[in-house]
């Protein structure tokens, strides 16, 4: 099945002025993912606003409030496909107060396109976007140096920006960056190479998006299977059936494999891998399956199946990088709820180590956390969690914090 199309999720980071919406519009337009009725709607709007050409950025302006104010206020998802891949774009606004939106969109992305205006070079917001991408562990980074038409398509300008960016990225431990010069407005290096950047020998952005290897973005080594739902049909036919439903978050499992159930530590063997389409001998992340075991042991939602090699931690205390998302600041006197894999438990913040200035990356001592703050914290939970370092496993190293009073999601955490 070499012609099977894969799914790639990516986000774009940059401000309105960097031409982000234009880039997305260009990708959709040049890959023929824009339909005539959409084009005619934005042509009319462009005309109404007195523009001479169709403003492709209008394609991504979703809500009434945004259209009125000409801004993007929240994460929006766009879809397009080429014969090689299906793409989901998380469109995130670059405005200062929206760190939380970028963290949100980045959390599920394979790749981030960081946009730079070639006239302005590496800005504070470029550093911020790069830091956030590395914090959330986005596996692939593309630096799109846009508006090359405004600097006469100068190779020197591009090289200077790239050198400065790479030096900064290296400080964050990021070495794998693909840098592409571009004019989204004119379509250079988005889908087609164009005639203006002959000196650049790399592939256009879409080509890169179609071919970047994402098979290893998930951890393929460590089997992690959080139990979501225990299936007990209690029918004549399935009288004794007891299946543990869930999604393999990482690694793989085969019939006969010895597994350990955490946090209890009991062990058993995989008897069957059941799916609607028949039984399997072996299953891989990220398949959703149902496992039955050779032994009857007490298992419920929130437990995790793992294998003896590469065990996770079982802990009631841990440290994490936290992004505070809510308008109401952290109240250290209160208990919150944590959702981690399929487990929900009470938690409290035992220590605030430091806050990170996302613009300078400097660490500051702090006693409080406000919206968009990023901090290193120590936490305690009421029941043990089965966890990994986020850098090793995005699924078992991530959590959200919920305010019990409002039920809002107030923070996103990454275990360190």
Partner 1 sequence: MTAHTFTHLDALESESIHIMREVAAECKNPALLFSGGKDSIVMLRLAEKAFRPAKFPFPLVHIDTEHNFPEVIATRDKLAADLGERLIVRSLEDSIKRGTIVIKDPDKPRNPYQSVTLLETIAEFGFDACMGGARRDEEKARAKERIFSFRDEFGQWDPKNQRPELWDLYNTRVHAGENIRVFPISNWTEMDIWEYIAREKLYIPEIYYAHKREVIRRGNSVIPVSHLVQPKPGEQVEVLSVRFRTVGDMTCTAPVESTARNAQEIIEETSTTRITERGATRMDDQTSEASMELRKKEGYF
Q: Which residues between 182 and 201 bind partner 1 (CB under 8 A)?
A: none
Which of 198, 286, 329, 391 touches partner 1 by CB under 8 A? 286
Q: Of 194, 211, 195, nearest to 30 (Cα)?
A: 194
Based on the shown chain and the rule CB under 8 A, indicate whether residue 57 belongs to the binding site for partner 1. Answer: no
CA distances from 28 to 187, 190, 396 (A): 11, 10, 34
Contact set for partner 1, span 223-262 (CB under 8 A): 228-229, 231-233, 235, 237-238, 241, 243, 245-247
Q: Of 231, 256, 249, 232, nearest to 304 (Cα)?
A: 249
Based on the shown chain and the rule CB under 8 A, indicate whether residue 369 belongs to the binding site for partner 1. Answer: no
* Binding mask of the shown chain, residues 316 to 355, with x at each position contacting partner 1 by CB under 8 A: ---------x-----------x-xx-x-x-----------
* Beta carbon nearer to partner 1, 98 or 158: 98
Tell me how far apart the alpha carbons of residues 414 and 151 are, in angstroms, rounded to a whole number: 40
Contacts of 161 (CB under 8 A, 6+ apart): 116, 118, 121, 122, 145
Which of 123, 280, 314, 315 touches partner 1 by CB under 8 A? 280
Which of 171, 211, 220, 359 touches partner 1 by CB under 8 A? 220
* Beta carbon nearer to partner 1, 247 or 376: 247
Answer whether 142's CB lies under 8 Å from 115's CB: no
Number of residues that bind partner 1 (CB under 8 A): 77
- Residue 252, Cβ density class (10 Å: 0-12 exposed, 13-18 middle, ≥19 buried): middle
Tell me how far apart the alpha carbons of residues 414 and 416 are, in angstroms, rounded to a whole number: 6
Which of 47, 49, 71, 79 touches partner 1 by CB under 8 A? 79
Which of 64, 97, 236, 333 touches partner 1 by CB under 8 A? 64
In angstroms, what is the minimal distance from the CB of 232 to partner 1? 7
In angstroms, what is the minimal distance from the CB of 65 to partner 1? 7
Q: Around 64, how many Cα atoms within 13 Å sit in the side-chain half-sphere?
A: 0
**DSSP string over 199-257:** T--S--HHHHHHHS--TTSS--SS-EEEEEEEE---SSTTTT--EEEEE--BSEEETT-
Based on the shown chain and the rule CB under 8 A, indicate whether residue 75 belongs to the binding site for partner 1. Answer: yes
Contact set for partner 1, span 16-45 (CB under 8 A): 35-38, 41
* Binding mask of the shown chain, residues 81 to 120, with x at each position contacting partner 1 by CB under 8 A: x---xx-x-----------xx-xx--xx------------
Answer whether 301's CB lies under 8 Å from 383's CB: no
Tell me how far apart the alpha carbons of residues 336 and 312 are, in angstroms, rounded to a whole number: 24
In angstroms, what is the minimal distance from the CB of 243 to partner 1? 8
In angstroms, what is the minimal distance from the CB of 167 to partner 1? 30
In angstroms, what is the minimal distance from the CB of 229 to partner 1? 5
């Amino acid at each position: 099945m070499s012609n099977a199309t894969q799914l790639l999720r990516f986000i774009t980071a940059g401000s309105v002025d960097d031409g982000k919406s234009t880039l997305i519009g260009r990708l959709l337009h040049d890959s023929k993912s824009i339909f005539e009725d959409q084009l005619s709607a934005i042509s009319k709007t462009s005309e109404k606003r007195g523009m001479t050409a169709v403003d492709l950025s209008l394609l991504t302006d979703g809500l009434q409030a945004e259209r009125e104010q000409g801004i993007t206020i929240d994460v929006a998802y766009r879809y397009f496909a080429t014969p090689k891949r299906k793409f989901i774009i998380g469109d995130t606004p670059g405005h200062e107060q929206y760190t939380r939106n970028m963290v949100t969109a980045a959390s599920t992305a394979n790749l981030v396109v960081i946009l730079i205006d070639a006239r302005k070079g590496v800005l504070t917001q470029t550093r911020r976007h790069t830091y956030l991408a590395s914090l959330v562990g986005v596996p692939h980074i593309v630096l799109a140096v846009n508006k090359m038409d405004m600097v006469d398509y100068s190779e020197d300008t591009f090289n200077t920006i790239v050198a400065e960016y790479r030096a900064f990225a290296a400080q964050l431990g990021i070495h794998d960056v693909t840098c592409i010069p571009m004019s989204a407005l004119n379509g250079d290096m988005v889908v087609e190479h164009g005639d203006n950047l002959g000196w650049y020998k790399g592939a256009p952005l879409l080509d890169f998006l179609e071919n970047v290897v994402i098979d290893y973005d998930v951890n393929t080594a460590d089997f992690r299977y959080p139990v979501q739902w225990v299936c007990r049909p209690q029918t004549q036919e399935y009288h004794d059936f007891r299946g543990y439903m869930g999604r393999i978050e990482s690694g793989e499992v085969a019939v006969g494999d010895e597994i350990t159930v955490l946090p209890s530590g009991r062990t058993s063997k995989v008897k069957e891998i059941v799916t609607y389409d028949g039984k399997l001998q072996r299953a891989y992340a990220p398949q959703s399956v149902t496992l039955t075991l050779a032994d009857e042991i007490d298992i419920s939602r929130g437990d995790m199946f793992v294998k003896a090699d590469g065990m996770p931690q079982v802990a009631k205390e841990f440290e994490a990088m936290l992004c505070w998302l809510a308008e109401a600041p952290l109240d250290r006197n209160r208990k919150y709820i944590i959702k981690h894999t399929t487990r929900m438990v009470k938690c409290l913040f035992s220590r605030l180590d430091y806050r990170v200035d996302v613009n300078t990356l400097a660490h500051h001592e702090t006693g409080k956390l406000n919206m968009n703050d990023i901090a290193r914290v120590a936490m305690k939970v009421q029941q043990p969690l089965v966890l990994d370092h986020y850098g090793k496993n995005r699924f078992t190293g991530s959590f959200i914090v919920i305010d019990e009073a409002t039920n809002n999601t107030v923070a996103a955490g990454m275990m360190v």
